[in-house]
């Protein structure tokens, strides 16, 4: 899961891109990058790290230009090499730069075809570089000195004909404009909007992953990019749109509403905040149905994403809501961290319990979801250490039992605590006195009530149903071998030269799994 932004304006947009990436930082904390185009000259800065660390004053002074794209990276392949920071660039045709969010499910076949048939060289194992070269090849086939909107839309159509999976992408065409496009199922999010120019002569345009990016810079949200659609803003600020492929069933990723998106965003016309409120309501109704005589004294959220659901759940139950954990703002999101050992280590650095909210009480902890179980197991123990009498645990999402293949780092079923386990077994594994999960039907309803036109969601991590129809056991095994935590650990060891610790670290990780 990554964050994207592209801007076309009459003014320098480097600072605008920087400020927008800080708003999208929650979507990726591994790397950040900006590329701008200034009268045909490209300026690039990208590196590993948070936005505030990657870009210094000296970098911003060089990021001049009236169009540009930015990216914050969240790795799904276990690698944090600076070479994988985006935007990516190829010089032919015209000079193209790409920022990408998602995952292609046929990368292996595409890489082979690019080399053997398109005669293009791929320098990394990133599917983003593959996507860029596919677009470049399709655009070059038009053989135009100057690309027209119809040429660009034809290139996007070629991408859809060849690429499968869930993706949203921005491509800056040097000197000509920026095009944004979304997969045919609309799995990954993409929106666009405008800002009236001060002199009243036209509009600046922004394309981004979330509507909150537009809000932060004074842009008005126009709408979501439709599944299979491309939005092209040329260098003169003229907007062109076209559906470039036959759309599939619109299936936005429901995990955006559960965890990834900011609550102040609108996604496919659905308020993330309202969806999370409804998750809390429906979870409370299930709890009351199962335990009408519950003895819960206080509801405490695990910050930050679960606060909205937890507050509404407490209201529905008629139970006190309290903030029982103080969060260290300078520790990243633990689910996004690339290795299990690093993830486990960070939890107690990230949260500290307020003893007086726990001591002698029956506490219901609420989280947005349970993925690997590392975080919630430690937090439950923290609640007990703080003096809680009983510790119950509620998940605003159903049990996560299957890998994700569309850009979320859940590739190995063996690393998901609920895989192959009953709810009682998960309850025992995390050390809770009682565990309750949201029903999948209620989760879908929580989101779809915000926009009845969207009735289907990508829910593969909960039900194992992959909407693109090209994911089988062979693919999942191959993905797991590349992206599981042990593979990530091996890469990090080789880089750090710590081969001697390998067996002990692997044993430690296996104990957690």
The first and second tokens of residue 86, run together, are: 């985006």
Let me know: does 30 contact 78? Beta carbons within 8 Å: no
Let me know: does 477 contact 411? Beta carbons within 8 Å: no
HSE at residue 373, side-chain half, CA atoms within 13 A, is 26
Q: Is the peptide bond before 304 cis (omega within 30 degrees of 0)?
A: yes
Please identify which residue in the block is written with the tokens 């590349």. Answer: 482
Active-site entry in 2, 16, 37, 459: 2
| Alpha-carbon span 133 to 110, nearest angstrom | 10
- Residue 335 has what DSSP assignment? G
Classify strands 177-182 and 165-173 as parallel, antiparallel or unpaired: antiparallel
Let me know: does 309 contact 333? Beta carbons within 8 Å: no
Let me know: does 243 contact 228? Beta carbons within 8 Å: yes
- Residue 499 has what DSSP assignment? G
| Alpha-carbon span 126 to 55, nearest angstrom | 23
The first and second tokens of residue 329, run together, are: 């703002």
The first and second tokens of residue 24, run together, are: 């999208």
163 is catalytic: no
Let me know: does 66 contact 9? Beta carbons within 8 Å: yes
The first and second tokens of residue 246, run together, are: 């036959």
Q: Is 233 helix (H, G, I), strand (E, B) or coil?
A: strand
For 92, counting Cβ atoms within 10 Å of its Cβ (0-12 exposed, 13-18 middle, 19+ buried), the class is exposed
Cα dist from 362 to 311, 386, 402, whole Å: 17, 12, 32
**Exposed e or buried b for every residue in 408-445, given b needs 16+ CB within 10 A?**
bbbbbbebbbbbebeeeebbebbbbebbbbbebebbbe
Of 388, 467, 394, which is closest to residue 437 (Cα–Cα)? 394
> Which residues are marked as active site?
2
């Amino acid at each position: 899961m990554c964050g994207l932004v592209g801007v076309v304006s009459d003014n320098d947009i480097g600072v605008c891109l920087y400020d927008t990436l800080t708003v999208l930082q929650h979507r990726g904390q591994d790397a950040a990058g900006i590329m701008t185009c200034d009268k045909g000259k490209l300026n690039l800065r990208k590196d590993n790290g948070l936005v505030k660390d990657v870009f210094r004053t000296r970098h911003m002074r060089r990021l001049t230009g009236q169009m540009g794209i930015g990216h914050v990276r969240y790795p799904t392949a276990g690698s944090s090499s600076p070479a994988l920071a985006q935007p990516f660039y190829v010089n032919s045709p015209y000079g193209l730069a790409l920022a990408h969010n998602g995952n292609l499910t046929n990368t292996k076949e595409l890489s082979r075809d690019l080399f053997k048939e398109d005669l293009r060289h791929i320098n990394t194992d990133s599917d983003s570089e593959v996507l860029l070269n596919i677009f470049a090849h399709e655009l070059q086939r038009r053989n135009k000195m100057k690309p027209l909107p119809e040429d660009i839309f034809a290139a996007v159509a070629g991408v859809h004909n060849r690429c499968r999976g869930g993706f949203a992408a921005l491509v800056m065409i040097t000197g000509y404009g920026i095009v944004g496009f979304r997969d045919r199922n609309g799995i990954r999010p993409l929106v666009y909007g405008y800002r009236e120019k001060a002199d009243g002569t036209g509009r600046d345009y922004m394309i981004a992953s979330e509507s909150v990016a537009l809000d932060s810079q004074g842009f008005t949200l126009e709408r979501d990019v439709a599944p299979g659609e491309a939005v092209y803003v040329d260098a003169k600020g003229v907007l062109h749109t076209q559906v470039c492929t036959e759309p599939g069933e619109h299936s936005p990723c429901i995990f955006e509403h559960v965890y990834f998106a900011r609550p102040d965003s609108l996604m496919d016309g659905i308020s993330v905040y309202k969806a999370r409120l409804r998750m809390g309501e429906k979870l409370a109704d299930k709890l009351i149905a199962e335990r009408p005589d519950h003895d819960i004294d206080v509801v405490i959220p695990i910050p930050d994403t679960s606060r909205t659901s937890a507050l509404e759940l407490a209201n529905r139950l008629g139970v006190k809501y309290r903030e029982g954990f103080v969060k260290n703002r300078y520790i990243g999101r633990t689910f996004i961290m690339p290795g299990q050992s690093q993830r486990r280590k960070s939890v107690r650095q990230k949260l500290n319990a307020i003893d007086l909210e726990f001591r002698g009480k029956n506490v219901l902890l609420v989280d947005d979801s349970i993925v690997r179980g590392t975080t919630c197991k430690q937090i439950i123990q923290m609640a007990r250490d703080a003096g809680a009498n009983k510790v119950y645990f509620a998940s605003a999402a159903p049990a996560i039992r299957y890998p994700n293949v569309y850009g979320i780092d859940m590739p190995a079923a063996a690393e998901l605590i609920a895989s192959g386990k009953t709810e009682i077994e998960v309850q025992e594994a995390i050390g809770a006195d009682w565990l309750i999960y949201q029903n999948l039907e209620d989760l879908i309803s929580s989101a779809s009530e915000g926009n009845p036109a969207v009735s289907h969601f990508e829910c593969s991590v909960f039900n194992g149903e992959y909407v693109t129809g090209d994911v089988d056991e062979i693919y999942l095994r191959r993905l797991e071998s590349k992206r599981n935590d042990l593979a990530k650990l091996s890469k990090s060891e080789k880089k750090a030269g710590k081969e001697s610790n390998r067996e002990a670290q692997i044993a430690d990780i296996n104990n957690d799994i």
